[in-house]
Amino acid sequence: MGMGVAGSYLMARLKNSEHKVVGYERSKKERHDSICAWGTIKSTMTELCNKVGIDFSKYVIHDGKKMHVIMNNQTEFDIGLHGLCTYNKIGLIQDFIKDCDVRYGEAPKLEQLEAEYDLIVDCTGFHRMYLPKLEKDFFLPTYEYKIEYQDKVPFDDFLIKPFPGMSGYFWYFPLGEKLAHIGAGDYNKQHIEETDKFFKKYGGKITKTVGRPIRLATPDLCKPFYHGKVVGVGESIGTVYPLLGEGIIPSMICADIFLEHMNDPKKYEKAVDDYYKIYGKVFKFVRKKIHKNFSIIKSLADVLAIFRYMKKNEKRFGMEIHMRDLLKVAKA
Ligand SMILES: Cc1cc2nc3c(=O)[nH]c(=O)nc-3n(C[C@H](O)[C@H](O)[C@H](O)COP(=O)(O)OP(=O)(O)OC[C@H]3O[C@@H](n4cnc5c(N)ncnc54)[C@H](O)[C@@H]3O)c2cc1C
């Protein structure tokens, strides 16, 4: 259920398996899109796409060299990039499900699905349509424009502006010579104002306006993962790295974990708990910052654990990880 990044990748991985798989997407085919800034990491996406015989390099739009960060106290710095790119996300989703049985414009009721299928995979992202509602959900509202510039883009690489107190950030993600995604997510709801401020300053033509909440509650807070015949995969069970709002790769990895344990829900739950354990720690750090009860001294051990994890996985995050940058963000 849901042909986002998790559902479509799962379809591609199951296409030639022993299972009969049917995909449902509530949007009509001509309106099917992906509300997202389309930023990801080349090396990991290449590995994941190789599993379904797709060459990821064909979808890359902009290959990042550096990300410019503007802090609210006017401090500015650059982060060296090694693999962070933008890509044609909806194009790849559509290619994942090419030749699959996908029913667009349909969001059947749970009872209907239960009567027809052995297993229902909830890949409906934030909506989590087929699983029980979460008790302790946590999400940020977002807003985004796709902008077409007349001559050329105002910035030729990635730019972000974190909001005060780490309540979210504004982003400018280039999409080739004339296009860019500009948008923001903010717990304190300054996201629309900040996006419009940038738009007024740099102009361009808005070709699309979108927005939906992004779930920051991590898998440890998104139980149950399964209920009756339904099992959740992707953002429906909180697979977003809360510090960055990165959900594409984590949701595809969740699909891989699901495939490994699809006959054993308990093992799936344990494998998800293990893989996303650090996400829970990162979420607690972000939440403390947002709720203004963060103390660098009390949270030093967590900050160090997050730094060590990101430093060890520098290639996976596609950017240079330095303690000084993490502290600048933590102190903001
Ligand atoms: C504005 C914004 C910008 C983002 N930018 C980035 C980024 O640059 N990089 C990154 O890594 N992550 C980003 N993310 C996060 C990332 O987009 C998501 O975490 C990721 O796409 C989750 O994938 P998913 O397949 O689980 O869910 P989704 O991609 O949300 O897909 C869910 C699908 O289910 C469909 N659906 C919903 N309900 C039903 C139903 N009842 N029946 C059938 N279909 C249904 C929806 O139409 C949709 O197609 C961003 C998120 C937002 C909101």
Question: Which of 67, 235, 256 to mutate to test ligand 1, by most ligand atoms within 8 A of the CB atom?
Answer: 235
pLDDT at 300: 86
* Residue of 248, 249, 253 to mutate, ligand 1, most atoms within 8 A of C-beta: 248
**With a 6 A CB cut-off, is 27 part of the ligand 1 pocket?**
yes
39 lines ligand 1 (CB under 6 A): yes
* Residue 144 near residue 293, CB atoms below 8 Å: no
Determine the Cα–Cα distance for residues 219 and 234; give it in Å rounded to an integer. Answer: 9
Residue 160, pLDDT score: 97
Q: Does the Cβ of 212 fall within 6 Å of ligand 1? A: yes
CB 23 less than 6 A from any atom of ligand 1: no
Which region, left, alpha or beta, applies to residue 233 given φ > 0 means left and ψ of -120 to 50 means alpha? Answer: beta
Q: What is the pTM of this model?
A: 0.97
247 CB within 6 A, ligand 1: yes
| Ligand 1 within 6 A of CB of 2 | yes
Q: Is 142 in the pocket of ligand 1 (CB under 6 A)?
A: yes
Distance in angstroms (rounded) separating the CA atoms of residues 25 and 225: 20
- Ligand 1 contact, 97 CB (< 6 A): no
Out of 3.40.50.300, 3.30.2350.10, 1.20.120.530, 3.50.50.60, which CATH number does the structure's domain 5-331 have?
A: 3.50.50.60
Cβ atoms of 29 and 148 within 8 Å: the answer is no
The answer to which of 26-30, 205-209, 303-307 has the lowest mean pLDDT is 303-307
Ligand 1 atom nearest residue 248's Cα: 11
Q: What is the arithmetic mean of pLDDT over 203-218?
A: 97
Under 8 Å between Cβ of 123 and 4: yes
d(CA 31, CA 88): 16
With a cut of 80, say whether residue 30 has pLDDT above it. yes
Q: Residue range 282-293: average pLDDT?
A: 93
Mean per-residue pLDDT for 12-16?
95
Q: How many Å is the Cα radius of gyration of the chain?
A: 20
1 CA from centroid of ligand 1 (Å): 12
* DSSP run (H or E) holding 23: strand 22-25
Q: What is the pLDDT of residues 47-98, one digit of tens each?
A: 999 999 999 999 999 999 999 999 876 789 999 999 999 999 999 999 999 9
pLDDT at 249: 98
How sure is the predictor about 165, in pLDDT bands with cuts at 50, 70 and 90? Answer: confident
Pick from 124, 212, 225, 243 the residue to mutate for probing ligand 1's pocket: most ligand atoms within 8 Å of its CB.
Answer: 124
Give per-residue pLDDT as tens, 232-268: 999 999 999 999 999 999 999 999 999 999 999 999 9
The pairing of beta strand 101-104 with beta strand 22-25? parallel
Distance CA 210, CA 119 (A): 32
Q: How far apart are CA 166 and CA 45, in angstroms?
A: 28
Atom of ligand 1 nearest to the CA of 5: 25
Distance 34 CA to ligand 1 centre (A): 6
Contact yes or no for 235/251 (Cβ under 8 A): yes
